[in-house]
Structure 1
Amino acid sequence: MNFKELRKKIDKIDDEILNLLDKRMGIVKEIGQLKLKSNVAIYHPKREKEIIYRLIGQNKTNITQKGIEAIYQEIFATSRFLELPQRVAFLGPIGSFTHQVAVEKFGKLSEYISSNNIESIFKSVANGSVKYGVIPIENNSNGIVGESLDYLAKYDVKIVAEANLSIHHSFASNEKLISNIKKVFSKDIAFGQCRDFLNNYSLQNVELIPLDSTAKAAKTASITPNSAAICSNIAAKICNLPIMFENIEDSSENTTRFFIISDFKTNSTNNDKTSLCAFINNSDKPGTLAKLLYEFNKKNINLIKLESRPLHKNKGFSFWFYIEFEGHIDDCNIKEIFELKKNKLKWLGSYTKDKLKD
């Protein structure tokens, strides 16, 4: 079979795909109308994960798991846009890793609001100017983002999903030869994460210029002669900056976890986590925290994370605690904990566990 014949086959398949997508979107519109009448949230991470896992389970020959996820995330995003256009706030400039997570979750059709600080995202979700916010919560190398925890305690929002992102850096430049590069722009922490690459390519003596973000580094390198940027793939593509090398980080295990916050409660999936704030009187007294944790042990609840945060209410050293555990707020044993300690606990959200990605 020649090129022309094969391309005719592809054209025919594309026509079939488009007709099926059009039928799918028609059903989506009907579902959207029912959701609006019932005041049900448009974003339904449980249903989306069920669809993706079911399709991956079919073990197709010519399309990978990542391919299925990428295609269907765009289909979901288009579907949500038909049901109700989404506004999403994220931390950092366009091209940041937080922006990358937002686009992966909500697709290219959503309206994105760039925020310079974490609190502005919480304010936007709390006052209804955006439906969703995407915030970093922790990195497996650098630890917890304390600011995000503090605003979860302060604002009346809910965690509706989590997302794990493997942090990969690219080396991008308009220069054809690496020997022409005299300056490299990036966020300060990224230089340390890519030290081996810089040494291996004899770049340790070029001028390393730290900026506020890797996205800003890509933009700066795109207009600066004899320069390069250490940045994300998405930042390089947005700035039309050619990528010379990909995955240049020293460790392939670098992962950041993000929360998606909104104003609604998610349904149980039997594969959930729950987050809460615990405000304990006399938190500096021996055994105070242990008594609370013992209640989780009695109810057979598996704790995943425990972090202390300062109360900022007096000159002393008083703390509240962020607790994360397996299960959903609607589970009987978890309901019992909240009924027992209702004056001391603030529920922050229950959400489906996200798998660590390669």
Structure 2
Amino acid sequence: MDLLEIRGRLDQIDTQIEKLFEERMRLCSEVAEYKIATGKAVYDAEREKQKIESVQAMAEGEFNKQAVAELFLQMMTLSRRYQYQTIAGRVGGPDLGFHKVEKLETAGKRVVFQGLEGAYGHAAALQFFGKDADIHHVRRFEDMMVEIQEGKADFAVLPIENSSAGAVTDNYDLLLKYDNVIVAETFLPVHHYLLGTPDAELSDVKRVFAHPQALMQSSDFLNQHDWQQLSMENNAVAAQKVRDEKDPSQAAVAGEVAGEIYRLKKLAGPINNCPDNTTRFLILAKDRVYQAGAEKISLCFELPHRSGTLYSMLGNFIFNDVNMRMIESRPIPEESWQYRFFVDIEGNLEDAGVQNALYGIMREAKNVKILGNY
């Protein structure tokens, strides 16, 4: 056969495959109706395992055996998605435990951040809540989560990722450890300045204090000078030290807010290696609410370290036309080679596609947690 004849034959086979696929999906709809009536679970791991083994046994050659296994795994994944959609349409989506509000009430509320006044967390709180907000600080990020849980604060400002340094991985773990939810986010441009005492000049500087990340993010500028670079707990602590010790040979790398609060002089800046450095902060609260116009959902789920499991989960988003913005994996400390995934998707908890996607994930993944819709 020439190429045109081969392609013609392939077209005939593809037409047959498409018609058989539609017939298979129709039967899957009948399966869904049966499972609605009986309460039987959609996902049957043993049944799928047997099916894969049986079709592999029919195939000839190692390549075809592997290929037919992948093909049927994909078809069964699509079948499950279709069944979940059918069931959700008939019995309704899952109860996610959130309630909608028209607007987030922030007036007169207490806000907590980690660090000292002048830290970037403080700047993020001022940016989101305004200068008249009731803002206070605690020493550790976990202390913020406890304050929300105990009602000592209404909102917390938690850094979750930086455009240069990446994810703040330990803070992802705090989102699971506590029942606080994400109700908003704010993006803070990070501009590092070299701050000194009011009487200092750049030529006086001999020692520079800052958080290790700030030193790293300003390394191009700092390494041009023969200065001792010393790590501190955070940049605000560094700025406070420079103010209190009144030594013109000492300087801090910190933000503009810290300079204003501690009345320090800008000796240079911004000195960031990357001028577009930005930190994303989450706004956390205890009440499980989301605003009417919320357009991003964060969730977490756990999967075994087995081929195809993540693909199967993400298929719920693909099949329901839900766009994924971010995925971050974290090992589960108490379970070797098992992982949890933090995912951000576009949408609102009222969206039918989102509900269908979450319906499927909540029935196949372990320990699914909706972290917030904002």
Q: TM-score, structure 1 length as denominator?
A: 0.70
In 2, the alpha carbon distance for the partners of 1:171 and 1:135 equals 25
Change in Cα spacing, 1:43 to 1:227, as seen in structure 2 (3 Å) is farther
Change in Cα spacing, 1:313 to 1:210, as seen in structure 2 (3 Å) is closer
Question: Could you tell me how far 1:272 is from its partner in structure 2?
Answer: 1.1
Q: Secondary structure of the residue that 1:266 maps to in structure 2? A: strand
2:122 to 93, 96, 99: 99
Tell me, yes or no, if structure 1 residue 252 matches structure 2 residue 288. Answer: no
Residue of structure 1 in register with 2:176 after alignment: 153
What are the ranges of 5 or more consecutive residues in structure 1 without an aligned counterpart?
1-38, 46-79, 352-358
What are the ranges of 5 or more consecutive residues in structure 2 without an aligned counterpart?
1-98
Q: Secondary structure of the residue that 2:289 maps to in structure 1? A: coil
Residue of structure 2 in register with 1:76 after alignment: none
Tell me, yes or no, if structure 1 residue 237 matches structure 2 residue 297. Answer: no
Residue of structure 2 in register with 1:310 after alignment: 331
Q: Secondary structure of the residue that 1:341 maps to in structure 2? A: helix
2:306 to 285, 299, 308: 285
Q: Secondary structure of the residue that 2:159 maps to in structure 1? A: strand
* Residues 118, 147 of structure 1: 8 Å contact kept: no
Q: Deviations over 1:269-302 (max 9, x none)?
A: 2x6110001123xx11111111111111000011
* Residues 139, 254 of structure 1: 8 Å contact kept: yes
2:110 to 67, 87, 92: 87
Amino acid at match of 2:180: V
Amino acid at match of 1:325: I
Residue of structure 2 in register with 1:193 after alignment: 217
Tell me, yes or no, if structure 1 residue 224 matches structure 2 residue 265. Answer: no
Q: Percent identity?
A: 30
Question: Could you tell me how far 1:252 is from its partner in structure 2?
Answer: 0.5
Residue of structure 2 in register with 1:65 after alignment: none
Residues 56-205 of structure 1 correspond to what in structure 2 (within 5 A)? 80-81=106-107, 85-174=108-197, 175-200=199-224, 204-205=225-226
In 1, the alpha carbon distance for the partners of 2:144 and 2:200 equals 40
- Greater C-alpha radius of gyration: 2
Q: Deviations over 1:167-204 (max 9, x none)?
A: 1011111234222222222222222222332355xxx2
In 2, the alpha carbon distance for the partners of 1:290 and 1:143 equals 24
In 2, the alpha carbon distance for the partners of 1:273 and 1:42 equals 16
In 1, the alpha carbon distance for the partners of 2:241 and 2:343 equals 41
Q: Deviations over 1:190-225 (max 9, x none)?
A: 22222332355xxx2122222111111111111231
In 2, the alpha carbon distance for the partners of 1:296 and 1:199 equals 46
In 2, the alpha carbon distance for the partners of 1:156 and 1:198 equals 41
1:326 to 331, 334, 346: 346
Q: Deviations over 1:35-82 (max 9, x none)?
A: xxxx9979628xxxxxxxxxxxxxxxxxxxxxxxxxxxxxxxxxx54x
In 1, the alpha carbon distance for the partners of 2:100 and 2:362 equals 26
* Residues 317, 357 of structure 2: 8 Å contact kept: yes
In 1, the alpha carbon distance for the partners of 2:239 and 2:334 equals 41
* Residues 194, 266 of structure 2: 8 Å contact kept: yes
Q: Deviations over 1:140-192 (max 9, x none)?
A: 22111111211212221210111111110111112342222222222222222
Residue of structure 2 in register with 1:51 after alignment: none
* Residues 236, 243 of structure 1: 8 Å contact kept: yes
Amino acid at match of 1:95: G
In 2, the alpha carbon distance for the partners of 1:212 and 1:131 equals 25
Equivalenced residue count is 269
Amino acid at match of 2:315: Y
Amino acid at match of 2:217: Q
1:44 to 104, 110, 114: 104
* Residues 102, 291 of structure 2: 8 Å contact kept: no
2:360 to 313, 327, 340: 340
In 2, the alpha carbon distance for the partners of 1:112 and 1:181 equals 33
1:265 to 289, 301, 319: 289
Residue of structure 1 in register with 2:26 after alignment: none
